[in-house]
Structure 1
Amino acid sequence: MVWGLGFVAVAVAAATLGHGDPVRRWLLLALVSTWGLRLSWHMYRKTAGQGEDPRYADLLRGATPVQALRKVFGLQGLLTLFVSFPLQLSAVTGPTPKPLLAVGGVGLAVWLVGITFEAVGDWQLWVFKSDPANRGVIMDRGLWAWTRHPNYFGDACVWWGLWLITINDWAPLATVGSPLLMTYLLVDVSGARLTERYLKGRPGFAEYQRRTAYFVPRPPRSARR
């Protein structure tokens, strides 16, 4: 829950304290706040009354309280500062040059695709898990039939979109590490890979893996001609 709110805090600081292009600053604040607040609400609703997420309980098993704080808050703080670097830099740069406005438009479209995948994917999974009849059953409907991790795919798109919006007259390679790192975390560290490790061995999961894309959506194999 703290993860999303940390980025909102950075976006608020960038928008209010920065002296760069005001349109871009406030647009980024709106987009990051929409993403971060929705994610925080989803995580709160997901964990309320359910105890700690078993994936992260496994990650922190055996850690002392100090080690747990370092892993969760210390590491998350450093990652938040690094991933949000495009927001920080964008807050002190001038208006986007006209030739790059189209890039910003593409970024907004990518962000919209991302937030849709993330929000709809989370909602579909929430509805599915709310039905007692689905206990222990693998979710393979809706967006989950096209990718095993629509929420994480959407999250990655959100940050690639934000990065495109922040591109100004400075070299984009200076901040491309932000979406690259976020994508790496979502694919191989705390996102999809950790979730699959938790689901491994469940009835039907191997077949679900066979027919459904890991991250980037595609039609399920059974639907191919």
Structure 2
Amino acid sequence: MGPFPWDAFAVNLAWAAASALAVLLATFAIALRKGVHRIVDTAWGVAFAAVAVATWYASAGEGDPGRRALVTALTAVWGLRLAAHIARRGRGHGEDPRYENLLSRAPGNRTWYALRTVYLLQAALVWLVSLPVQAAAYAPRPLSALAWAGAAVWAVGLFFETVGDAQLARFKADPANRGRIMDQGLWALTRHPNYFGDFCVWWGLFLVACDGGAAPAAVSVVSPLAMSALLIGGSGKRLLERHMAGRPGWAAYAARTSGFFPRPPRRDRRAGG
């Protein structure tokens, strides 16, 4: 077991950037042809899977084979599941109001504004957030219990995302629920099962990187911190709740249900509880 291969890892940073950029630029071309930018949400998961596979290929002979395989599989499963879910959810719909609103404020050409503020920005975020995946693949230490603890945290995250998405899809498919707030299943424990799931996925992958030693841990801690900031205070929870705030029943739901970390719902004292 040798030291962390900084030179090879530096080369991989370029490979990862190229992989993420290729996916997002291809998506940009498809979006222009289709006339909708919402498909960039599907590309988010695909880009992570592309970075993981490129890193797995480039790190051959450098990192521990077990950790390379583990971190690649975890990232690809998460990214491709998310991409497939978003693609199914958006099929047959027009432009996402978020992108319509963003592009309506474009100071110049909408196409180039979309490229800069949506596609290139997302490519940069994929590169940044994927640092644990890249660093873990280059760590020469053999796998230990910490990596499997990270995989367990990742599994909790995937459970919350997958089950939460399925519960919401079934709820919306029932015409009797039109206009109602989803407050059942995992959605009774947290207002954002999918965002909490993302949070766990990336902290879990960070633990897999930590299993490789101090070097991969230090270089990749910015990833789960950045993802947590995006999910809780950035484009995730904050923006969605601003959009939901005026809906009937939202205030009561928000009052009894955790805003992020799961917990049993608060009892309504006014109802005798």
Fold shared by both chains (TM-score > 0.5): yes
1:198-217 Cα offsets, whole Å, 9 max, x none, are 11110000111100000000
**Match of residue 213, structure 2, among 166, 169, 176:** 169
Q: Distance in 1 between matches of 2:90 and 2:138?
A: 38
Partner of 2:87: 44
Deviation at 1:197, TM superposition (A): 1.1
Moved over 6 A (4+): none
TM-score if structure 1 supplies the norm length? 0.93
1:11 aligns with 2:79: no
SS of equivalent to 1:126 = helix
SS of equivalent to 1:201 = coil
1:158-192 Cα offsets, whole Å, 9 max, x none, are 00001101111234233111011011111111111
SS of equivalent to 1:148 = coil
Aligned residues between the structures:
222
Inter-CA distance 2–138: structure 2 relative to 1 (3 Å threshold): same
Partner of 2:101: 58
TM-score if structure 2 supplies the norm length? 0.77
Runs of at least 5 residues in structure 2 that lack an aligned partner in the other structure = 1-41
For 1:205, the aligned partner's letter is: W
Deviation at 1:46, TM superposition (A): 0.9
For 2:81, the aligned partner's letter is: R
Deviation at 1:95, TM superposition (A): 2.4
Deviation at 1:60, TM superposition (A): 3.5
1:67 aligns with 2:108: no
Runs of at least 5 residues in structure 1 that lack an aligned partner in the other structure = none
Inter-CA distance 147–60: structure 2 relative to 1 (3 Å threshold): farther
Deviation at 1:52, TM superposition (A): 2.5
1:129 aligns with 2:172: yes
Q: CA RMSD in A?
A: 1.6
For 2:214, the aligned partner's letter is: W
Q: Distance in 1 between matches of 2:57 and 2:251?
A: 49
For 2:58, the aligned partner's letter is: L
Partner of 2:238: 193
Identity %: 54
Do the aligned residues in 2 keep the contact of 1:213 with 1:220 (CA within 8 Å)?
yes
